[in-house]
Every structure is written in structure tokens, then in C-alpha cells.
Amino acid sequence: MKTRTLGTDLEVSAIGYGCMGLDFGYAGQLDRADAIAMIRAAHELGVTFFDTAEIYGPFTNETLVGEALEGVRDEVVIATKFGFRFENGEPAGLTSRPESIRAVAEASLKRLRTDRIDLFYQHRVDPEVPIEEVAGTVRDLIAEGKVKHFGLSEAGVDTIRRAHGVQPVTALQSEYSLWWREPEDAILPVLEELGIGFVPFSPLGKGFLTGAIGTDTEFAKEDFRSTVPRFSEDARKANQALVDTIGRLADAKGATKAQVAIAWLLAQEPWIAPIPGTTKRHRLEENLGAATIELTASEVVGLTQAVEAVEVRGHRYSPTAQAMIDR
């Protein structure tokens, strides 16, 4: 597996592994033993960059990652996140108060079975807490050796600049793919200017860009895609044109749609490291195979122009989830 550098010195595998779906957010979740086996399989296949968060589960996802990677801890980069408050074990809004950040860090260290968090993201920007306070708290945790790098997730340009002025931001994690390209407008330019890495989540459009989801697909009630407007039946029907466009290049390259979609992301900038997730071994191998797909400059431009001609239908989040996005 090739590597990439986020920020000034955080080296990660070019393709990471998003652990969320192992036991949170999607249908078809794995039992504990199978989830741990998937994480270990990712490492055996060359992944050194693993993404989790306290809210995944909640709390259980970090324990899976901690147990799976304890034996290879010094060979991997583990990213986790803070920023939510909980009532009776369930998410109940945002909080990035300094005392909350510290409490999350201590709890995450225990669940992850480690003495340091390699990359500590603010999961969502808390409008009630100045970002300077957030960055200052993480800066203190870095000075104490409990955290190595500071990250933001779904943050806007002003927030990124203000945070970076207090504690250098190593990486921004936000959604980015061939069917959600908003970061290109303002986010990517400021990341390049400041030397911040970018970690796209949902690089396969929550599975849609693989071609495995059709108009007849039914989502279980526990699958969050059942609440996403972009996954309504009408939207899926309209958005199929995007998948077909990717498929034409995939066929020409002897690759899969998923591989081309990830390869396109990798071709955008050398400081981009996507984190696709999956619960299936063959999909894991397929996704990581994207690192070997070389798209020419003309292929990248051609695919970009082709997908621009497709009008993607539907919002990417429910109104409640969208309200947490800082732009």
C-alpha cells in the first residue's frame, strides 16, 4: 500500500478504513468477532489508517478498534472524534466544552487500549463554543502526549482558519466523492494554502457509486440511508446516470466502479486519503485495489466533465443532520 502525508508529518496508507459501519449506521452489522476480523484483515492488506468515533455505537466501535489493533498499535494510525453529548447513552446534541473534550479523550484512550490518540477530530463544530477554545484544549492534550494531531470534520473555511491559528490542523474530514463535490469550491483551496490534509468519508457515496444500489433497493429502518433524501426511490432513479458514467470508464480500465471512484479522489491531490468502509472482505479487497488504478490526466478530466453533466438529485442529509454542518 502506498502512503500519503496529512499535514506536515502524519503518514498514513493512501486508502484508510472507515470502521463506523461495522456496528453503527448501516444494516448488516457484524458481530464482535467478525468486526475485529475485518479490521485485522484491513491491516494485513496494508491499511495503516483507521477511523472511528465515540458516537459510533455509541462507544462500542472504539472498543472493536482497540481490541483489533492492540497487537499492532505502533504500526497504525488511529483517528477518533469528540463533539457530542449523550443522555442515557444516546446522542443528545453537540458539545465541545473543554471539560467534555478532556473527558472524551480519557474515555477513548481506555476503549482504544492505547496511550495516545493519533488524530483527534472535532466531529461537528459546536456553535456554542469558540473554535479557539476547542483548538486550545486539543493543543494542551498534545502537549501532554495524549493526542498527536488535531483534526476537524465538516468545518467551514472561517472555522478552519481560526482553529489553525491556535493549533495547526493536520486533517479535515468531510464528505467528498464524485456525487458530492462541494469541497472543491472553497474547502480544498484553503487546505492547500494551509498545508492541511483531507480525509474524504463516504468516498463511494454511501455505497451508491458501487452500482450495487438500485431503485428496487429497500433500506432497513436502522440504516440511516432510509432517512437521506438522496436515497429516495426517485432520487436513486435520477442519480443512476452518474453510476453509469463511472461504469463506462471502469469498463475501459478493467476496473470496478468503486475502484474508479476512489482512484478519481486519489488523483485530485496527493494529500487526500479516503476512508471507505465495508463489512465484506471482497469489498475491502476491491476498495484497496483502487490504489493500483492509475487514471491519466485526460481520464480524470474526462470523468469530471462527464459527471458534471449529470444533475444529482436529493439532499445528502436529513434536515436535522444537515443543521450540524458548519459552512
Grid cell for residue 188: 480544498
Place of cell 470534520: 153
Q: So which residues are the catalytic ones?
A: 56
Question: What letter does residue 31 receive in the DSSP assignment?
Answer: P
Distances (CA, A) of 181 to 74, 178, 284, 304: 34, 6, 24, 10
Place of cell 449523550: 86
Question: What letter does residue 29 receive in the DSSP assignment?
Answer: P
d(CA 98, CA 138): 9
Residues contacting residue 265 through CB under 8 Å, at least 6 positions apart: 176, 177, 200, 203, 272, 274
Question: What letter does residue 77 receive in the DSSP assignment?
Answer: E
Identify the three-state secondary structure at position 151: strand
Task: Tell me the helices (H) and strands (E) count for the chain, helix number first.
Answer: 11, 11
Counting beta carbons within 10 angstroms of the beta carbon of residue 145, is it exposed (0 to 12), middle (13 to 18) or buried (19 or more)? Answer: exposed
d(CA 138, CA 145): 11
d(CA 273, CA 221): 31
